[in-house]
């Protein structure tokens, strides 16, 4: 398939508007593929409603939350709050991608479909957390108000290509974070719920990853620079959550999301699929970006190795303490 158009002019003159137009056919193809493979599911079917009971407030028989009521592990509780608060900022995410991609044609259909699917994630997670008493509901609501009151502005809102590159990695990062949270939660119900969410996130990643591949065929130098910038400066969308750095450190130690996972399970799979280091025919700026990306990934792998050593040493100390 040819995705260039005779009226678009020189590739050196690509603008967001021209790229959006040139990629519309790819978006339509990927949207149709997505709709064929995506399965509808009901959030309420994943919630243990029979575990629920009243909290204090309007109900005189309400029972205050206590940590001992939670079935999930300490690290599961931390990660669940971070993951839910990240999902909560969906209105800001929708505003950003609708502004960048538009609300018309295949782009607009995808934007609204993606938003509808993401909306389920916040619904089912909050219902699970409240019904199962997994977290302090008052603290959760205060965090939500604080986080959403700040809004969200992506580091990549200046460029359509940067935004596509970012979400290709970010959707996979979110999938991995949800899946590992489920594994570490200690609650099979939670694990099943997050596995369902992770399946959606993986399909979203595939959409953006395939779109990014098409962008490389169309504007390889610009796309390579966008990927380099996104990978080097990558931040999760929940970085503005109150206490995020402390929570991120706990999630790293708890093996929900850390440098090794980021390198091996998020960045590398997408870069391998794109065959990023094998792309040729690049101009000077594209070649520079490709080389810098390779150097960065090598450095990140070294940093991840150091983290692995520290984590192994920590586990050994804890095991020795438990044995003694």
- Tell which residue, 50, 66, 48, 88, has the closest CA to residue 187: 48
Cα 269 to its chain centre, rounded Å, is 14
Q: Please answer whether residues 258 and 303 qualify as being in contact, where contact means their C-beta atoms are separated by less than 8 angstroms.
A: no
Split at pLDDT 50, 70, 90, the class of 10 is very low
68 is in an annotated binding site: no
**Residue 147: its pLDDT value, please?**
87
- Give the CATH number of domain 16-48+65-323; options: 1.10.620.20, 3.40.50.300, 2.170.120.20, 3.40.190.10: 1.10.620.20
**68: which residues sit within 8 A by CB, 6+ positions away?**
none
183 is in an annotated binding site: no
Block residue for tokens 């971070």:
82
Split at pLDDT 50, 70, 90, the class of 4 is very low
Task: Report the C-alpha gap between 138 and 268 in whole angstroms.
Answer: 39
**Residue 240: its pLDDT value, please?**
78
Sign of the torsion angle spanned by Cα atoms 269, 84, 33, 224: negative
Block residue for tokens 């970010």:
170
Split at pLDDT 50, 70, 90, the class of 50 is very high
**Residues 178-218: tens digit of each pLDDT:** 999 999 999 999 999 999 999 999 999 999 999 999 999 99
255 is in an annotated binding site: no
DSSP 44-62: GGGS-GGG--PPSSS-TT-
**244: which residues sit within 8 A by CB, 6+ positions away?**
82, 238
- What is the 8-class DSSP label of residue 237? G
**Residues 254-279: tens digit of each pLDDT:** 999 999 999 999 999 999 999 999 99
Residue percentage of the chain with pLDDT more than 90: 73
87 is in an annotated binding site: yes
**Residues 131-154: tens digit of each pLDDT:** 999 999 999 999 999 888 887 777
171 is in an annotated binding site: yes
Domain ranges of the chain: 16-48+65-323
Task: Report the C-alpha gap between 21 and 260 in whole angstroms.
Answer: 38
Q: Which two tokens stand for residue 148?
A: 């959403």
pLDDT reading at 49 higher than 80 = yes
């Amino acid at each position: 398939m040819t995705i260039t158009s005779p009226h678009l002019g020189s590739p050196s003159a690509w603008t967001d508007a021209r790229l959006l137009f040139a990629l519309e056919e790819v978006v339509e193809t990927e949207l149709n593929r997505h709709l064929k493979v995506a399965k509808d599911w009901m959030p309420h079917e994943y919630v243990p409603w029979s575990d629920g009971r009243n909290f204090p407030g309007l109900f005189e028989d309400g029972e205050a939350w206590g940590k001992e009521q939670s079935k999930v592990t300490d690290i599961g509780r931390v990660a669940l709050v971070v993951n839910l608060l990240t999902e909560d900022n969906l209105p800001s995410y929708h505003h950003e991608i609708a502004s960048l991609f538009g609300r018309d044609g295949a782009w607009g259909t995808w934007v609204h479909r993606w938003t509808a699917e993401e909306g389920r994630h916040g619904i089912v997670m909050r219902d699970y957390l409240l019904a199962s008493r997994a977290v302090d509901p008052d603290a959760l609501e205060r965090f939500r108000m604080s986080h959403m009151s700040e809004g969200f502005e992506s580091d990549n809102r200046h460029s359509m290509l940067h935004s596509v590159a970012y979400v290709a990695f970010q959707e996979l990062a979110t999938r991995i974070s949800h899946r590992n949270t489920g594994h570490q939660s200690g609650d099979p119900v939670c694990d099943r719920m997050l596995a369902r969410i992770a399946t959606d996130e993986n399909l979203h990643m595939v959409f953006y990853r395939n779109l990014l591949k098409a962008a490389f065929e169309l504007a390889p130098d610009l796309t390579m620079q966008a990927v380099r910038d996104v990978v080097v400066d990558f931040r999760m969308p929940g970085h503005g959550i109150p206490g995020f750095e402390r929570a991120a450190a706990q999630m790293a130690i708890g093996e929900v999301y850390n440098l090794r996972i980021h390198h091996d399970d998020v960045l590398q799979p997408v870069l391998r699929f794109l065959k990023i280091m094998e792309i040729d025919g690049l101009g000077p700026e594209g070649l520079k970006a490709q080389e810098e990306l390779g150097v960065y990934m090598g450095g990140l792998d070294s940093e991840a190795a150091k983290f692995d050593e520290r984590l192994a040493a920590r586990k050994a100390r804890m095991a020795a303490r438990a044995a003694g």
